Structure 1
Amino acid sequence: MALDGLTLYCLKSELRQLIGGKIEKIYQPENEMISISIRNNRKNYKLVMSAGASNARIHLTDQNFENPATPPPFCMALRKHLISGIIKDIRQEGFDRILHIDVFTKTELEDPVILTLTIEIMGKHSNIILYDQNMTILTCIKNVTPDMSKRPVLPGIQYQSPPTVKKLSPDDIDIDKFAELLASTKKISAFFTENFEGISPLISKEILFRAGVDGTSQKDAAILYSKFKSIIDSVKNKEYDPTLAIDINTGMYRDFSCVKLTHMAQECTIKKFDSLNELLDEYYTVHEKQSRMLQLSSELTRIINTNLDRCYKKLKIQQTDLSEAEDREKYRLYGELIIANIYNLQKGQESAELYNYYNNTTITVPLDPALSPAENAQRYYKRYNKLKNAYSVVSAQIEETEKEINYLESLLTNIEQAEDESDLMDIKAELIKEGYIKSNTKKKEIEYKSKPRHYKHGDFDIYVGKNNLQNDYLTLKFARAEDLWLHTSKIHGSHVIIKAYGRKIPDETLEAAARLAAYYSKARQSSKVPVDYTIRKNVKKPNGAKPGMVIYENYKTIYVNPDIKDIQEA
């Protein structure tokens, strides 16, 4: 969701509190983003501006950014021209997605000058540009050469506003003109976006929804005009309604607007804010985090599924080999029967009917006519011995392949239940350590970011691993011999530890920990989930086992529903 012109118009009125403020610091934490510290009326403000293709924006923020040790050239140029400057005005061109910040400052020769810092919010063509009173560009965050666009943006040339499609101002149209435009439109769903400045598809959908129009048919012009005018008037009168739509099912931040998004109320939670700055700060902070997590989880899932496909194919081949090896006794029998009847057989025979003295039946034994009876017997004995050796080898290989499949599937469960970026980074580090991802980082130098989940139940502490490496740490290093260990029975999930400290663990605490184990497992959406529990000293890790893989004995099983709403996180 990009900032539309109508929302930017509302935001402009909030940003005008910066007028008269002094620019004290400028940073560039990312390639296409700057943050400006401003002091005004004894208050400190931090203004963030981004020209990113998917997150171009401007708003006040409370976030702290990590800045590079060496400021980029664009940042240095802004510092040179704008530090100690005073903000004189904040302007918008109609309802377009362009905002200008006029700054009073002085040149190196102490001559007063007005410089303009402009942000153009136009998707992949977004830019942040500084130019002087003569419209000469001093610097820009993205250089656009003549080869790239008909409108170059480079230091030293004249600044020109981006070319725009001629549209009507939404605050300057009467019912007659509106009805005339509506009558000539072919697609009512695109009517507002094609004819009026600042109206995004999102706001267009909201107007049509309020008017009771689904976007496929004409509607009475008076009703549409009334709903359209109502929204525009509320914006003009600064009675806008900063609103965020959060997907009910996924929790993803879907859209935001300066008007209440009633058309999304069925599929989203609608969250209201006191200001657009507060809304935008939360939306972009969370949305960028969610986008990074989605991208990283997709990357890790792809890597794991690729290796799972490899393991599934390998397992199928191994099972075929094992099935063939299970028939090895047949070849030993063929060899024995040929030896027992060797004087009755001749070279050149393709088969022989031989008496099986083990079950008193006659069987047909295939023969190679090019070989003598003794050579045929030897051939079958060799095949028997080969399959006999293969059976034990392939059985061991199948066991290892199944362990690897079990391990990789547990990683998929960990990815599904990752709560933040650090959880996914730990899973990536684990994949690097196990050799599934190539990296120049030495295994001993890999850092893990997240910490186990910590819950309280009465006076007892309960810890839950977020990934396989944390499971190993909790079970093998953190827990003491008398602590209680829990895990879903034959289901991928987290290791859970109840710290006993020499005390008897109440049944209520055991049941709460079991619910945590069920919730943080593959069976989260199930009911009556079996959870095994035993004291820590009964849990062992076999030599060479993958992270998170353990064996245990002397355990009991409890059945619970994975509901943890009443369990307090520490």
Structure 2
Amino acid sequence: MPQDTFTIRLLAKELASSLRGGRINRINQPGKEELSLLIYTQKGTLKLTVNANAADCGVYFTTDNPPNPLTAPNFCMLLRKYLQGAEILGVETPGFERILIFRVLCFSDFSTAERELRVEIMGKYSNILLTEKGIILGALKTTTIDENCRRAILPGAPYLPPAPQDKTDPSDLSALRALLSPPLPDDLPRFLFQHVAGLAPCTAEQIVSGYRGGDLAQYVHDTIFSDEISPCVVEKNGVPTDFFARYVPGGISFESISAAEQYFYAGRRAKKGFDELQRKLSSAVSSAKKKQEKRLSQVLEKRRQCEGMEEDRIKGELLTANLYRLKQGMRSCELENYYDEAGGTVKIALDERLSPADNAQAYFRRYRKQKRTLEVLGPQETEVRSELEYSLSLLAAIASADRMDDLKCLEEELQLAGLLKQPERRKKQAVPEYPFRRFEKDGFEVLAGRNNLQNDRLIRTSSPDDIWLHAQKYHSSHVVIRTGGRAVPDEVLLFAAGICARYSDARQGGRIPVDYCPIRQVKKPPKARAGFVIYHEYKTILTEPDTDAKEL
């Protein structure tokens, strides 16, 4: 993305035209390295985002309302102290640097002062600083006092601009001509990027692609300092990959650089947030699944240890029946096994310290202990298998999610299930209720749940004649066709089955079986986990996942 001086200079003109004379009404810091300024202008209220994150650094207008922390960070409080109600005098760039300077006139009860909010857009070195008369009042990122520190960024320290690059200033036409005198290198875009200040590689390529002969230095100079803009954003697979101040083939056009930046960063942020939340949910459920599998293995191991329970009972019975033949001090005995149809014998180990009767009782006690253990293990095994099945259904739903709303619904379910910590909410802050996935086919409404809680709600809110679908022997979303009392054509059934397969474990495979039946045949057992139901008198249809269906 060309956050170079070429683009920032054009952005400064755009911001100055929109913000000059405006007043800063509200200052928030929704992110660690992001500011949000609400500005009243003659053209209306504008919200300006100022981001100093290494991956998302930029300044642009936005309509988003990100949540703010309950307690404002220190830098945000500092800006509120000095800039609240300030009038914006102008926006400019110093020389040919990647710095935006917002000159503001600040008012207090007894005086006025002119201050500067400096936004240094320099990748991982990006920063936001507030200065007055060349002295730093505060900064988003500060440095320590060190002998090796090139720039001291501390409150009270004089502001020093970043060290200039050892490149040719494009505003110096004579220096530019000396640099671009023949012979020219074969890779001219790379040469411009490496030797001319303020150009990104893609900007250099754009400049060279438009050159049609003549004075190259004059052409480069005029192109860089031209105020002509035609902003656009380039996408790949629906995700923004770059934005430009001037149009490139295949780009999506915008009216302003700020609008292009907003679209670009919103798309990137949405993709990044989606991936991060998906990893977070998968990690939480996988951790729970690992614990459940460990617990199940422990239950199965205890069950295995109880496999000899009946043998202990038989040995106790045989010892009791042959007490007259046994004596204390014997280490073992071999007795006829009258429980064996073949009439064989069994060798029984004895404790020589115990009497024959006590040895028999020891076998009975071991038998009763194993019997009680099995009685306890039965419900435990059922419970842990149910929890494990629930975790697998959550993993399937997380993997098949394709929208942020899907993950938000799953996050809410995980919080209610205790797999994630409940967030702190402000008073009277309502929990959002997300709608079902909604599709339409030939006049029939097709709904799909986003998580297990929605699956249950979908069944509760459906009519008895509506058609319910679920992938056979796979975890999947519950899908319902709202019939309205009409007969459902085969095309609609096949479409709904494709939606069901799309949001299932088998979405990457081929044809899979999908069961369907009227809602009246679907029942939820008492105390069953969310999303778990039983159904009767169903039919099955074979279909492939429908990835082309558009959600409404």
TM exceeds 0.5? yes
Equivalent runs, 1:104-503 vs 2, <5 Å: 116-123=116-123, 125-132=125-132, 134-137=133-136, 139-140=137-138, 142=140, 144=142, 147=145, 151-153=151-153, 158-169=158-169, 172-173=175-176, 196-199=196-199, 235-237=224-226, 244=233, 246=235, 248=237, 252-256=239-243, 275-357=256-338, 358-370=340-352, 371-439=354-422, 447-475=431-459, 477-503=460-486
- After superposing the two structures, state which structure 1 stretch, 99-108 or 350-359, moved more: 99-108
AA aligned opposite 2:60 = H
Which shows bigger deviation, 52-61 or 31-40? 31-40
**Which residue pairs with 1:59 in the alignment?**
60
Secondary structure at the counterpart of residue 22 of structure 2: strand
Separation in 2, partners of 1:228, 1:478: 71
Shift in Å, 1:424: 2.7
Looking at structure 2, the residues matched to 297 and 450 of structure 1 have their Cα atoms a distance apart, in angstroms, of 17
Query: Structure 1 residues 202 and 377, CA, compared in 2 at 3 Å: closer, same or farther?
Result: farther
Say if 1:105 and 1:335 are closer, same or farther in 2 by CA, change over 3 A: closer
- Other structure's SS at 1:348 match: coil
**Is the contact between residue 7 and residue 258 of structure 1 (CA under 8 Å) also seen in structure 2?**
yes
Secondary structure of 1:530 counterpart: strand
TM-score (norm. length: structure 1): 0.78
For 2:308 and 2:465, the matched residues in 1 are separated by 49
1:407 CA displacement? 0.7
Counterparts of 1:401 and 1:257, CA distance in 2: 55
- Is the Cα contact below 8 Å between 2:52 and 2:127 reproduced in 1? yes
> Which of 77, 80, 87 matches 1:75?
80
SS class of match (1:469):
helix
Distance 1:383 1:503 in 2: 64
Task: Report the CA distance shift for 1:397/1:246 in structure 2 as closer, same or farther (over 3 A).
Answer: farther
CA drift at 1:256: 4.3
Letter paired with 1:560: T
The reply to whether residue 563 of structure 1 matches residue 549 of structure 2 is: no
Structure 1 stretch displaced more, 234-243 or 155-164: 234-243
Q: Deviations over 1:383-428 (max 9, x none)?
A: 2232233223323211211110111121122222334444333322
Q: Which runs of 5+ in 2 are unaligned?
A: 210-214
Which position in structure 2 is the counterpart of 1:3? 3
CA contact (8 A) 1:532 1:555 kept: yes
RMSD (Å) for aligned C-alpha atoms: 4.2
User: Secondary structure at the residue paired with 1:129?
Assistant: strand
Which residue does the alignment assign to 2:212? none
Distance 1:347 1:459 in 2: 87
Q: What's 2:513 paired with?
A: 530
Indicate the larger mover: 375-384 or 150-159: 150-159
Q: Match for residue 90 of structure 1?
A: 92
CA distance in 2, matches of 1:114, 1:505: 71
Three-state SS of the structure 2 residue aligned to 1:22 is coil
Q: What CA distance in whole angstroms lies between the structure 2 residues aligned with 1:38 and 1:446?
A: 29
Q: How many residues in Structure 1 have an aligned counterpart in Structure 2?
A: 529
Give the secondary structure class of the aligned counterpart of 1:198: coil
Going from structure 1 to structure 2, the CA distance change for 1:493 and 1:438 (only over 3 Å counts) comes to same
* Structure 1: stretches of 5+ with no match in the other structure: 211-225, 263-268
Q: What is residue 30 of structure 1 aligned with on the other side?
A: 29
What CA distance in whole angstroms lies between the structure 2 residues aligned with 1:411 and 1:55? 32
C-alpha separation between the residues in 1 aligned to 2:435 and 2:201? 42
Partner SS state of residue 497, structure 2: helix
Q: Deviation at 1:314?
A: 0.7
Deviation at 1:306, TM superposition (A): 1.2
Q: 2:477 is matched by which residue type in structure 1? A: S
One of 531, 536, 539 as aligned partner of 2:522: 539
1:47-82 deviation line (CA, Å, top 9, x unaligned): 432234543211244545667899844135223432
C-alpha distance after superposition, 1:169-210 (max 9, x if no partner): 468556878999999xxxx99988765533557779x79xx9
Query: SS in structure 1 opposite 2:297?
Result: helix
State the Cα distance separating 1:320 from its structure 2 match: 1.5
What SS does the corresponding residue of 1:308 show, helix, strand or coil?
helix
* 8 Å CA contact retained: 1:326, 1:391: no
**Residue 505 (structure 1) aligned with residue 504 (structure 2):** no
1:351 Cα deviation from its structure 2 partner: 3.3
Q: How many Å separate the matches in 1 of 2:295 and 2:408? A: 29
| Cα offsets for 1:474-500 (capped at 9, x unmatched) | 11x211222221111121111111222
Label 1:68 to 1:307 Cα distance change in 2 as closer, same or farther (>3 A).
Answer: closer
**8 Å CA contact 1:99, 1:119 repeated in 2:** yes
Query: Residue 178 and residue 550 in structure 1: after superposition, are their counterparts in 2 closer, same or farther (change >3 A)?
Result: farther
CA deviation vs aligned residue, 1:496-548 (integer Å, no higher than 9, x gap): 11222322222222222111111111211122121111221222222222211
- Matched residue, 1:222: none
Contact 1:429 1:446 in 2 (8 A): no
- 1:464–1:48 Cα change, 3 Å: same
Q: Mark the CA change 1:377 to 1:229 in structure 2 (over 3 Å): closer, same or farther.
A: farther
Specify which of 531, 543, 547 is matched with residue 548 of structure 1.
Answer: 531
Change (3 A) 1:498 1:342: same
CA distance in 2, matches of 1:384, 1:67: 63
Are 1:425 and 1:449, in contact at CA under 8 Å, matched by a contact in 2? Answer: no
**3-state SS of 1:396 partner:** helix
Q: Secondary structure at the match of 2:484?
A: coil
TM-score after normalising by structure 2: 0.80
Which residue identity is paired with 1:533?
Y
Cα distance in 2, alignment partners of residues 480 and 365 from structure 1 = 67
Provide the C-alpha distance between the structure 2 equivalents of 1:154 and 1:499, rounded to a whole number of angstroms: 64
C-alpha distance 68-384 of structure 1, shift in aligned 2 (>3 A): closer
Deviation at 1:243, TM superposition (A): 5.8
Q: Matched residues in 2 for 1:450 and 1:385: separation? A: 53
CA–CA separation in structure 1 for the residues paired with 2:304 and 2:514? 35
CA distance in 1, matches of 2:105, 2:62: 23
Corresponding residue of 1:220: none
Question: Quick one: structure 1 residues 80 and 273, their matched pair in 2 at CA, closer, same or farther if it must change by over 3 Å?
Answer: closer
| TM-aligned CA distance change 1:68 to 1:379, over 3 Å | closer
User: Taking every aligned residue pair, what percent have the same amino acid on both sides?
Assistant: 30
Q: Structure 2 vs 1, CA of residues 549 and 106 (structure 1 numbering), >3 Å: closer, same or farther? A: closer
